[in-house]
Amino acid sequence: EVQLVESGGGLIQPGGSLRLSCAASGFTFSNYAMTWVRQAPGKGLEWVSDISGSGGSTNYVDSVKGRFTISRDNSKNTLYLQMNSLRAEDTAVYYCAKATSFRFLDYWGQGTLVTVSS
Amino acid sequence: EIVLTQSPGTLSLSPGERATLSCRASQSVSSSYLAWYQQKPGQAPRLLIYGASSRATGVPDRFSGSGSGADFTLTISRLEPEDFAVYYCQQYGSSPYTFGQGTKLEIK
């Protein structure tokens, strides 16, 4: 059974940093791209970033480029999102999701809430 | 960046009725790389449709997807009580792999 469990969310002041983790199990982690999607309170889904199975290729939405870094440790079956220079508009539930080879998202975690506020 | 516009924003229907949800792209979506997801309150999204018309594993056959190019449709043939939720389309043909703003399907 595929399981994705996010952690690392919390309350952080504007300008601060936070690292999210996503522990994966139930599939061969290194064979699949992984994605972060976020959802601001009461709003829709926003695709944030993805990373290839090897970690050699990454993509970002423009609003987080230069501030967020996606990475993975295939030996630990874990996905990360390093978030720096956080802004109020980054407040959201952050979901990690497993991507198929075509990049649609077939399994999702339950999400972790990040609140950026002073 | 491809912008996806979903309509209507809210759809009010009764169980047993047919639901038709639209997703229009600002440019053609390559190879019909269009997916639909369902999200219920407090839950993560769930994949329903990929490749514009292929149902994901375990998805009931009352859900169907169609379309190509820049116009796509999700149809629920006969609404069940558990189908009332928010539905999102997503294009995965061109990064960033954008989502539509969602259609809320509510009980009339």
CA-based nearest distance A13→chain B, Å: 25
Averaged pLDDT for residues B31-36: 93
Contacts of A37 in chain B (CB under 8 A): 45, 99
Residue B2 near chain A (CB below 8 Å): no
| Contact call for A45 and B102, based on CB within 8 A | yes
Let me know: does B51 contact B36? Beta carbons within 8 Å: no
Is there a contact between B31 and B93 (Cβ–Cβ < 8 Å)? Answer: yes
Determine contact: B103 vs chain A, CB below 8 A.
Answer: no
Q: Over 90: is that where the pLDDT of A104 sits?
A: yes
Contact B102 A104 (CB under 8 A): no
Q: Which two tokens stand for residue B8?
A: 């209507």
Q: Say what the pLDDT of residue A27 is.
A: 97
In this predicted structure, the answer to whether residue B55 has a pLDDT above a threshold of 90 is yes
Does the pLDDT value for residue A106 go beyond 90? yes
| pLDDT at A115 (0 to 100) | 98
Per residue in A37-82, pLDDT (tens digit) is 999 999 999 999 999 999 999 999 999 999 999 999 999 999 999 9
Token pair in block for residue A100:
């198929």
Cα distance between residue B17 and residue A106, in whole Å: 28
Closest CA to B98 of B21, B19, B42, B25: B25
Contacts with A102 from chain B: Cβ below 8 Å: 33, 50-51, 92
Place of tokens 């649609």: A104
Residues from chain B contacting residue A60 (CB–CB below 8 Å): 96
pLDDT band at B30 (very low <50, low <70, confident <90, very high): confident
* A105 at B interface, C-beta within 8 A: yes
Listed in sequence order, the residues at least 6 apart from B52 whose beta carbon sits closer than 8 Å to its beta carbon are B32, B33, B34, B65, B66, B67, B68, B72
- Check if A90 contacts B (Cβ < 8 Å): no
| Average pLDDT across chain B, whole number | 96
Contact (CB, 8 A) for B106 and B87: no
Instruction: Say how far apart CA B47 and CA B72 lie, in whole Å.
Output: 16
- Beta-carbon separation of A95 and B45 below 8 A: yes
